[in-house]
Structures are given as structure tokens and as C-alpha cells.
Amino acid sequence: MANYDKQRNANTRRRGGTVRAVETTGRRVALSPERSSFLLTMAPWAGSAAQRGFTLIELVMTITIMTILTLGVIPLIKVSVKRQKEQQLRDSLRQMRIAIDEFHRDTMGMTCTGSVVQQPPQQPQNIPLDPRSKVMISDCTIFGVDNPDRYPPDLETLINGVNVIPRGLGAGRGDPGVNATDLTSELSTKKKIYLRAIPVDPMTGKAEWELRSCYDPPDSGSWGGENIFDVRSKSRDTALNGEKYSDW
């Protein structure tokens, strides 16, 4: 055993190392300072809790970076939300204007006598004046004397619907006309709805719109009340393209 220890010490000296005596005292083992530093280096989590936390400089840098990122993202989000609202506004205006034009097409060719609508006998059978219009409004009571152009009198008329008859049913037969309120007549009428509901203006958050009649000037600030020729937003804000929403 003594020879083995001498040989081991000699090999250690040849490798340039040093030998530290390790004394065993029962169940405890005493380590040298170099060995303790090595273990602490290999296992940094063995240190105190204060050594594992953020320093003040790191915390300040983190907050600064997050602030810069936030200030850069917020404007982009606002622009994205505004662009989405503008697209909703365009869709709502297009929906109402299409309903107004469709209503006006279905009035073409009407010949009213009181509450009775007559189709002109010279109109060719089953050939509408406009290929997109398959029916004709048969209720003449919704048009006043101040609305000879027969645009819808209000938006509620587009939602509630009006009585219509197929085009060409009375042509060439000498029919005196169709009473819009007489559902027992030979040509019973059906109700056509042009608009499901009044859309909400995304810029104001209300289902309220500026109305224009066909007799109002383009820059008019009030509605004449004769009919509805156009609708516009009540918002006076500026769009992303520099235009006013009320001019769309």
C-alpha cells in the first residue's frame, strides 16, 4: 500500500500537479478553497439569490426597448383600425346606393292614375325597359306630387318594401290597371324589400346618414325632403387619402 502511494505521488509530480491532503473525519469531508471555487463556477445556481436577479442597468435597458417598440406599434394599430372603418363605410354607402338605384329602375315604365298603376300597352311583352329590372312597383301612393322622378321617399321604404308586379303582365291585353291594395285581383302583388336594414355609420357609430334629393345641390347642407337620391356620412373627419368622409 505504501509503495502504491509513493508511485501515485510521483506520477502526479511528473504531470505538474499539486497534491492536497484530504483528511477524513467521520462523515465530513473538508475541501480545499480551490475545489470550492471550481464547484461554484460549474454550478452558478448554487450562489445567492441576489446573484441570479437583474441589475439596474439591465432593467432600465429592457424598459427602454419595450417603450420604443410600443410607441412604434401603436400608430400602426390606429392606422389599421381606421382603414378597416373606412372600408366598412364604403361598403355601407355602396349597399344603400345600389338599393336606391334598384328601386328607381323598378319604377321605370309606370303609369299611375291615383293608386292604380297601368303598364303602357305599347310596351313589348316580357321585355323590361332595363334588363336588370324584372318587376315593376305597383303602389303609386308612395310617390307624392313633389317626387315625379320616383326615387324612394325615405330609407324606411326600402326596408319595409313595396308592392310589385312582374313586368309585361298587362301589356297588349288592354288591362285598365292593377290596384296596389287589391290582393284579390287577377294580378295579385308581391312585396319586394330593397334593403335589409339601415347600416351603422362606422365613423359616427349611429345609423344616421345625410340625405340628398335629386333636386338638392351637391354642396347642400340640408335635405329637401322630396326623395332620396344619395346618402353620405355625417362625419366631418378626414380620411387617410385626405378627403372628407362627408364627400364620399
pLDDT score at 218: 81
Calculate the dihedral angle through the C-alpha atoms of 86, 87, 93, 97, rounding to the nearest 10 degrees.
150
Tell me how far apart the alpha carbons of residues 177 and 171 are, in angstroms, rounded to a whole number: 10
Cα dist from 57 to 51, 60, 147, whole Å:
14, 5, 76
Tell me how far apart the alpha carbons of residues 21 and 59 are, in angstroms, rounded to a whole number: 46
pLDDT score at 198: 95
pLDDT score at 179: 47
pLDDT score at 187: 55
Domain locations in the chain?
74-247
CA atoms within 13 A on the CB side of 207: 6
* Three-class secondary structure of residue 125 per DSSP: coil
pLDDT score at 192: 94
Give, as one character, the DSSP assignment of residue 32. Answer: P
Tell me how far apart the alpha carbons of residues 45 and 70 are, in angstroms, rounded to a whole number: 34
pLDDT score at 94: 96
User: Is residue 103 a contact partner of residue 97, using CB atoms and an 8 Å limit?
Assistant: no
Instruction: List per-residue pLDDT tens for the chain, 248 residues long.
Output: 555 555 555 555 555 554 454 454 555 555 555 555 554 555 554 455 445 567 888 888 888 888 887 777 778 888 889 999 999 999 999 999 999 999 999 998 887 765 555 554 444 444 456 788 889 998 888 998 889 899 999 999 999 999 999 886 544 333 444 444 444 454 556 899 999 999 999 999 999 999 999 999 888 888 989 999 999 999 999 999 999 999 99
Tell me how far apart the alpha carbons of residues 137 and 112 are, in angstroms, rounded to a whole number: 10
